[in-house]
Each structure stands twice: as structure tokens, then as C-alpha cells.
Structure 1
Amino acid sequence: MPTPEEVRRRFAGTPLYPLLGIALVEIEPDRVVAAMTAAAVHCNIDGVVHGGLYGLLADTAMGCAARTGQSAGSRNKTLEMSVDFFAGAAAGDRLRAEGVVTARAGRFAWAEATVTAAPGDEPPRPIGRARSLNYEVPSG
């Protein structure tokens, strides 16, 4: 299994995450927290954070959580994902997704994530949840 440092190293080598400002803030076996601060560039035509960003943040947390139980050097693929949206978020909100693996069978891992938003110093509020099916692609 990859160590938290290995997960962080592979994450850091991916250009997408720094472009969006996504960071891994907690990593432990079967659980990862990814977070970012939403900016105006992340908002849709209605002025709220685009829901696709919730999905991407949740997928990142769930995929990295799944990776913590996979063979070192393997790749993780999201085979299926669904996202439920509860509320909107605004530019300046701190977004956080906690991804947790709920089951494993062979090369498959099922995960869930809760996405929250916190404006300023206010407590976080739930804005969405997601579920995914992940598959471990062997190295080579």
C-alpha cells in the first residue's frame, strides 16, 4: 500500500490540482480530506461555485482514499460517480471534501464523500455528497 507521503507525491505531480488550488489536508488509510478556497473563476453564470467543482473535489478525496489501500505503483480509476447537491457556495468559501472508503472487494473500492463550505470564520455547512466506485489498475 502507498504511504501518505507517496499519495502526496503523486498528487503533487499532477498539474490540475495546483491550477485549481486543491490540497490534500489529511491522509490516513481509507480516508482523505481535500480542500480549496473557491474563487470567482470557479463560479458559474449565476455567480455561485459551479457544481462540477464539488464533484471534482469529492472525486479527488474519494479516489485518493481508495488509492491508500491499493498496491504501490498502481493507478486508480473512477468507474462511476454520483453527486447530490444540497446548497450553493460562493467565491471566498473554504470547500472541503472528506472521502472515505466504505467497502473493498478485490480491485474494487466503494467510497463516499461529504462536501462542506465555510465562509470566513463561520462553521462549515454541508453542500453536497458523492459516491463512487473505484478500480485499481495494476502497474505495468
Structure 2
Amino acid sequence: MTETSNKSLTAGETPAATHRSRVFGWDDPAISAGAVPHHSGLDFLREILAGRLPAPPIAATLGFTLEEAEYGRAVFVLVPGEEHYNPIGSVHGGVYATLLDSAAGCAVQSVLPQGMGYTSIDLTLKFLRPITVGTGKVRAIGTVLNSGRRTALAQAELRDSDDRLLAHATSSCMLFPVPTR
């Protein structure tokens, strides 16, 4: 016979049998940031892909990686885990947003000449399907729709391994000269 407890948990208390932990590390983000003014956007992304520049700390925090970068396109991948869950048992919308913002932003970065940078102005996101650990690897595919002198517009799609659309986003980015450090 299994004994269960009716004891209520207080704030911050977790049952010992359900506790999980995750350890991760990252490299100094100043290394990559310092390299931005010395590369075209695409060359910068290729340096990250080749491991010659470190990925940003957010990639380690969430466990996603840059998988592809070409002119006007960037792809990130993530295998969802419980650490990505919200309280209702599916991947938190902030994880979707981070993947889509990264893909759209890096797609914009891929078209920038040396000495130029970008920052997101906005991100409009539509959630279409839930993601769980059972979903398997997901891909965030960002593409540039238009790039001007001061702004760029990109879109990103989040797809599962069966190519089903899980979420869609558009992002406007402001373009600016990056000072040499």
C-alpha cells in the first residue's frame, strides 16, 4: 500500500521526489560583442557556427543552438525539456518568443554590412500549437522580408520535425552603426 500525504506545500517548498536540476555554463558575452564591428553580419554568424566566437548566454540558458546562417536566413534549434515548461505542462510562450526573436533578428543580422548592428523594435507573435517534450526538436526559421537603411522587417516560423507550423512572428528591427571597441 502506498501512503500519500495531504500536507500542503508552502511557498518555495517542493516535494523531494519531484525536484530536478540543470547545470549549464556560458562564455564571456563581451568576446562576441567585441567582434561585431569587425565582421559583416553573415560572417559574424558563421564565426559562431564554426565555434570561433561564443554563442550568446541566452542560448545556454534555454539550450538552443544556431544551426544555419545564410544571407537573409537564420535557423535555431531546440529540443524542448521540462525546464521550458509553464505551470500548465507545456513550453512557456517566452521560449517560443525567444526562439522566434533570435531567428528573425539573426536573419536581419545576416544581411548587414561590416560595422552595422540591429536591435528589435517589436515582435508580433502568434501561437498556433502547444509544444511539449513529446514534440521533439523544433526549428525557428527566420527570413528577411525587407531591409532598408534604417529599419528591416523579418519573419520567423517555429516548426516541428513534421514541418507543422507551431508559431509565427514578425519583427521590425532598427539598424545602426556599431562603434569599434
Structure 1 unaligned runs (5+)?
A: none
TM-score w.r.t. the length of structure 2 is: 0.69
- Which amino acid in structure 1 is aligned with residue 109 of structure 2? R
Higher strand share: 1
Alignment check: 8 A CA contact 1:8 1:24 kept: no
Structure 2 unaligned runs (5+)?
A: 1-38
Alignment check: 8 A CA contact 1:7 1:68 kept: yes
Equivalent position of 2:149 in the other structure: 106
Task: Calculate the aligned-residue CA RMSD, in Å.
Answer: 1.8
- Which amino acid in structure 2 is aligned with residue 99 of structure 1? G
Q: Higher relative contact order by CA 8 Å / sep ≥ 6: 1 or 2?
A: 1
Render the CA deviation track for 1:16-47: whole Å, top value 9, x for unaligned.
Answer: 11221111111110011111111101010010
- How many angstroms apart in 1 are the aligned matches of 2:45 and 2:75? 12
Report how far residue 13 of structure 1 moved: 4.1
Residues 1:61 and 2:103 are matched in the alignment: yes
Which runs of at least 4 in structure 1 moved beyond 4 Å after TM superposition? Answer: none
- Which amino acid in structure 1 is aligned with residue 129 of structure 2? A
Equivalent position of 1:22 in the other structure: 64
Aligned residues: 136
- Which amino acid in structure 2 is aligned with residue 64 of structure 1? C
Render the CA deviation track for 1:93-128: whole Å, top value 9, x for unaligned.
Answer: 21211100001121211001111123xxxx232110
Higher alpha-carbon Rg:
2
- How many angstroms apart in 2 are the aligned matches of 1:105 and 1:34? 24
Distance change in 2, residues 1:59/1:3 (3 Å): closer
Report how far residue 7 of structure 1 moved: 1.4
- Which amino acid in structure 2 is aligned with residue 6 of structure 1? F
- How many angstroms apart in 2 are the aligned matches of 1:2 and 1:82? 27
TM-score w.r.t. the length of structure 1 is: 0.88
